[in-house]
Structure 1
Amino acid sequence: MFEFFRHLGSFIIALGILVTVHEYGHFWVARKAGVKVLRFSIGFGKPLCRWHDKLGTEYVIAMIPLGGYVKMLDERVEAVDPSESHLSFNNKSVWSRIAIVIAGPMANFIFAIFALALMYMIGVQNAKPVVGDVHAQSRAALAQLQSGDHILAMGGQDVLSWQEVTFSLMSHLGEQSVDVKVQDAQQQIQIRTIDLTGWKLDKKDQPPLDAIGIVPYRPALTLTIGHVAKGSAASQAGLQVGDKLLTANGQEIEQWQSLVSLVQASPNKAIQLEVMRNGYRQILSVTPESRTGPNGIQQGFLGVVPQLESWPPGYIETRHYGPLDSIVLGVQKTYALITLSFDMIGNLITGKVSVNNLSGPVGIAVGAGTSVSYGLVAFLSFLALISVNLGVFNLLPLPVLDGGHLMYYIIELIRKKPVSEKTQELGYKIGAMLLLGLTCFALLNDVSRL
């Protein structure tokens, strides 16, 4: 239950920040363009609180935290006093309307730059992208990538972390191949070429690295418990952090995966665990709870995480940057995320990436909660990523989104006259149905992952 409320609270905070940023972009430019703003709302539905400024704008925080809007004076929506006609949105030049519409996504991109710059100034801790293992007969194996290879660059782009490796790899989706610069276990620089011909992300939730056969290096799992989830079967049985697992049902536990296999095969079945605690042996009876796993199969779930062995010296790097360098890096990273986001949309359309990988509100909530648990730097990185995606999504040419309005105004520039209200209304209905269908599909994906 605690996890649920943590994810929910993190989701509300994250979405509230990003929606406020987006809508403030529209609000600020509208004011500069001389448009009267009637309402600035964060959330939908019943107002929880409201107030007015000296210019008459009503500010609202509403009950349903799934978006927001800026309501402007507009003669197409309601009657406007002739004395305020010049303050109406529809009476502004097409260039002013374009600026107001595009300001929302641009605000999201600027916020991403700010969040990333702050993250770089605080300091970014990364594990070096060292290959831990390579799946047999995979694309990585055929390229002769080996355990111990330290990836230095991919496609000519230097990489410092596994996140950068993943983003760079995704940017080459659809290409024939990608060159990978590595330093092997003998400290020799080598160039490996990975064949990407026909490569697709067509499996649900499969990480790109796993899809080409790369397993990042991670310290080995120990048999000592590092975390016990509150309210889990392990917690109810009395397992504690620091307990070292010895036997299960009388059989010696040689590695963590052996315990995982036994637990998964024992939903709602008692297991006798022998542990070493404070130098003394204890036997505990634990009954894994039943959860639905892949393909609808019921699996046991214990609720424990093992401790890891220590990282080898030099594998973890913390990099700090000055203000100017942080801003430059923030701009570069934001641009790369924008490009990657548009590429992924194109790959979804062409089928190179499965639509089963789409995430909705639940996926964002889980991501927000997880990033918060890792600290401020991880949360800033998550905010930047979602802010960019929100900006890119709103630029899609669907009439109910900013991109749809932008499309109409560009047509108006070309035709020298506005698109008819009847055509716009039809477009809004089609766009709303498409958007609703996309949201429902993403939500179903989220639910299937729970």
Structure 2
Amino acid sequence: MAILGFITGYLVPFILVLSLLVFVHEMGHYLVGRWSGIRVTAFSIGFGPEIVGFNDRHGTRWRLSLIPLGGYVRFYGDEDAASRPDSEALSHLSLAERSQTLAGAKLWKRAATVAAGPIANFLLAIAIFAVLFAVYGRSVADPVVAEIRPDSAAAEAGIQVGDRLIAMDGSPIRTFEDVRRYVTVRPETQMTVTVERGGNTIDLPLVPKRTEITDQFGNKVELGLIGVVTNEQSGNFRHITYTPLEALQEGVVETGHIITGTFRYIGNLVTGRMKPDQLGGPVRVAQASGQMATLGIAAVIQLAAVLSVSIGLLNLMPVPVLDGGHLVFYAIEAIRGKPLGAGAQEIAFRIGLAMVLSLMVFATWNDISNLIG
């Protein structure tokens, strides 16, 4: 029964969410590649042995593969799923055939085809958030302080009950959610909070404290907190409804928040403000998918939007074998006027593969350690 519960409660939601995001990502590559005149030989959801598949009239093999941890589009003339050009095969192609390969396409077409995957993930996230906002609206709390935790950063800064937080480091604050977004990714970072008190504005120095909290599912999360609280009794809560255009605008804004928050998180890892054990892999994603599933379909859909942005950003990392690495190669080619040599690219791909595998092992080790702990 425990195994069945794991499969239905965690594994199935995880596979469904990840497969959707991978399909959208790879479809971005596929559509722009086809539009650019590049032949596609395979479109796979998952890696490894094929479970089921078919060939379409354009000669593309559509595959569902055994290992559901990603996917790929393989273009004509590629050596493997990482889109490394097959130099031997390319040398035997005619000019007309070579023009149908990724390596033989014009530089801007190659760049557009590669960038289309991450862009598709960002567009999916925007669309998901827009639909959620249009359908459900949003409940927000005005940033008026109802309570201050003892010995908190807010107490030390001199913030008082009744203060309205209007800006942080000059960035306007509209809701308590804006406060949360700003401070949680800036632990132990000096900032200036602007409050409105008795009709006057006051600037106060503030340093969020790095704090480990336990969420509603028992997961331990480390973030920055300042210790200000709102509640239902304060009368600060209100519900906002959006027109379709407003919902779309909010979807763009929400996606932008996730992108900037991710970069801030990476910066915190580099500077040591966040512990690297916060980095999660497929096990933690599966766990989160199952936990969100207990909250309803809207929560799962929202998680899908967040993960879609994460997949887009991960693939834009300037690491060979990822989309970002290909774009770096293309940028170098644009500057040099010719591509890097096959030997240099091969070395770069090997290094990139080692980096990606190391990151996956490290993230999975974190997942297992957190589960055991």
* TM-score bracket, shorter-length normalisation: 0.7 to 0.9
Matched, 1:136 2:146: no
**Residue aligned with 2:273, SS:** coil
2:67 to 64, 70, 73: 64
Cα gap change, 1:16 to 1:314, in 2 (>3 Å): farther
Matched, 1:119 2:132: yes
1:79 to 85, 89, 92: 89
Which residue in the other structure is 2:26 paired with?
Answer: 23
Cα gap change, 1:180 to 1:63, in 2 (>3 Å): farther
Cα gap change, 1:151 to 1:330, in 2 (>3 Å): same
Letter in 2 for 1:383: A
- Is the CA contact 2:165–2:193 (under 8 Å) kept in the aligned structure 1? no
Residue deviations 1:305-357, cap 9 Å, x none?
xxxxxx54856543321111111111122123222222322332233332121
Residue deviations 1:134-187, cap 9 Å, x none?
44333222123356766565443334353x33222256568531315468xxx9
Written as runs of structure 1 = structure 2, the 5 A alignment for 1:90-169 is 90-126=103-139, 128=141, 134-146=148-160, 154-155=168-169, 156-162=171-177, 164-169=178-183
- Is the CA contact 2:54–2:61 (under 8 Å) kept in the aligned structure 1? yes
Q: Which has the higher helix share?
A: 2
Cα gap change, 1:217 to 1:200, in 2 (>3 Å): closer
2:343 & 2:204 partners in 1: Cα distance? 54
Which residue in the other structure is 2:190 paired with?
Answer: 176
Gaps of 5+ in 2: 79-84, 214-219
Which residue in the other structure is 1:435 paired with?
Answer: 356
Cα gap change, 1:200 to 1:401, in 2 (>3 Å): farther
Q: TM-score, normalised by structure 1?
A: 0.70
Which residue in the other structure is 2:8 paired with?
Answer: 5
Residue deviations 1:99-143, cap 9 Å, x none?
111111100111111011001011144362676754433322212
1:447 & 1:3 partners in 2: Cα distance? 15
Cα gap change, 1:374 to 1:202, in 2 (>3 Å): closer
**Residue aligned with 2:182, SS:** helix
**Residue aligned with 2:38, SS:** coil
2:101 to 75, 78, 88: 88
The offset of 1:395, in angstroms, is 0.7
Which residue in the other structure is 1:32 paired with?
Answer: 35
1:430 & 1:405 partners in 2: Cα distance? 14
1:322 & 1:141 partners in 2: Cα distance? 39
Identity across aligned pairs (percent)? 35
- Is the CA contact 1:334–1:388 (under 8 Å) kept in the aligned structure 2? yes
Gaps of 5+ in 1: 219-310
Letter in 1 for 2:89: A
Cα gap change, 1:213 to 1:179, in 2 (>3 Å): closer
Cα gap change, 1:216 to 1:324, in 2 (>3 Å): same
- Is the CA contact 2:129–2:305 (under 8 Å) kept in the aligned structure 1? yes
2:209 & 2:105 partners in 1: Cα distance? 46
1:333 to 245, 254, 276: 254
- Is the CA contact 2:45–2:72 (under 8 Å) kept in the aligned structure 1? yes
Cα gap change, 1:96 to 1:434, in 2 (>3 Å): same
Which residue in the other structure is 1:449 paired with?
Answer: 370
The offset of 1:9, in angstroms, is 1.4
Written as runs of structure 1 = structure 2, the 5 A alignment for 1:16-415 is 16-74=19-77, 76-77=85-86, 79=89, 82=94, 84-126=97-139, 128=141, 134-146=148-160, 154-155=168-169, 156-162=171-177, 164-170=178-184, 176-181=190-195, 191=202, 193-196=204-207, 205-208=220-223, 211-214=224-227, 216-217=229-230, 311-312=232-233, 314=235, 317-415=238-336
The offset of 1:400, in angstroms, is 1.5
- Larger mean Cα displacement after TM superposition, 33-42 or 47-56: 47-56
Over aligned residue pairs, what C-alpha RMSD do you find? 2.9
Residue deviations 1:64-123, cap 9 Å, x none?
110000010016326365363321111111111111111111001111110110010111
Q: TM-score, normalised by structure 2?
A: 0.83
- Is the CA contact 2:209–2:226 (under 8 Å) kept in the aligned structure 1? no
- Is the CA contact 2:222–2:278 (under 8 Å) kept in the aligned structure 1? no
**Residue aligned with 2:58, SS:** coil
1:449 & 1:152 partners in 2: Cα distance? 38
Letter in 2 for 1:430: I
For this pair of structures, how many residues does the alignment match?
A: 350
**Residue aligned with 1:42, SS:** strand
- Is the CA contact 2:17–2:304 (under 8 Å) kept in the aligned structure 1? yes
- Larger mean Cα displacement after TM superposition, 378-387 or 112-121: 378-387
- Larger mean Cα displacement after TM superposition, 116-125 or 337-346: 337-346
1:313 & 1:134 partners in 2: Cα distance? 13
